[in-house]
Amino acid sequence: MIFVLIGIGLAVLYRTGGSKDQVGNLGYHAAQQTQRANLGENSTELNPADAVKLAPFLPTPMCVVEKMLELAEVDQDDIVYDLGCGDGRIVITAAEKYGAHGVGLDIYPQWVKKSQSNAKKAGVESLVRFCLEDATKADISEATVVALYLLPESNDLLRPLLEKQLKPGACVVTHNYHIPGWGDKEVKVESLKDEYGKEHTVFVYRP
């Protein structure tokens, strides 16, 4: 089973059966080594002005992060992607709570650096990585879960990428906003309130 989450950045979680943990994690570690070699904490390789801006940064409340991961049924065999990761909380929580691997993408160097710092503080550096990258041009094919917190038009923009790259059985989880054209792929919708009483909705899809 494969899941994709859409949260405040995108986080991608991908689950498969069989030997995915053996093959997928080898791919993850190879990519992690390449990313460390080619992208330092202070890298400015990507100019944010040249990248597609999918949404302003608004942190997903932790209760919503936990609900997204719960509905995606994340475990240690998953690779969770967050597209527009902000401070990295989705993939870091997936690593801390479930032992999952995670990848966060963002177009702003300061958020990549902040995420790396937060991962170090949480002690999950070996499980997660953060990349300075435009999500609309990214290779997310290893993801088992993807998390998104974007407006419907941004979700719609990413839909072809998700449909093309995610493997059969994948699941996409979004915070507050649906994915246009995926009504027949929607498998769960759940609402909850944060600590301030504000209501949030989580949508789960299997493309």
pLDDT at 33: 47
Tell me the mean pLDDT per 10 residues along the chain, length 207.
Answer: 48 39 46 43 52 77 98 94 96 97 95 97 98 94 95 94 92 95 95 97 94
For 123, left (φ over 0), alpha (ψ -120 to 50), or beta? left
The per-residue pLDDT of the chain, averaged, comes to 82
The answer to whether residues 135 and 158 touch, using CB atoms and an 8 Å cutoff, is: yes
pLDDT at 83: 95
The 8 Å CB, 24+ separation contacts for 138-142 are 138/83, 138/105, 139/165, 140/12, 140/81, 140/83, 140/165, 140/166, 141/165, 141/166, 141/167, 142/14, 142/24, 142/27, 142/28, 142/31, 142/79
The answer to whether residues 132 and 169 touch, using CB atoms and an 8 Å cutoff, is: no
Look at the block and give the residue holding tokens 């002690």.
123
For residue 106, which of 184, 154, 172, 52 has the smallest C-alpha distance? Answer: 52
Element (H, E) at 89: helix 89-98
Q: Which two tokens stand for residue 101?
A: 């691997």
pLDDT at 72: 93
pLDDT at 57: 80
pLDDT at 82: 97
Going 197 to 92 to 85 to 149, the CA torsion angle's sign is: negative
This prediction's pTM: 0.77
Q: Which two tokens stand for residue 104?
A: 């966060």
Q: Which two tokens stand for residue 163?
A: 């449909």
pLDDT at 20: 40
Query: Which residues have CB under 8 Å from 44's CB, separation 6+?
Result: 109, 132
Q: Is 197 exposed, middle or buried (0-12, 13-18, 19+ CB in 10 A)?
A: exposed
CATH classification code of 5-205: 3.40.50.150
pLDDT at 34: 43
Could you state, in order of their start, the residue ranges of all structural domains in the chain?
A: 5-205
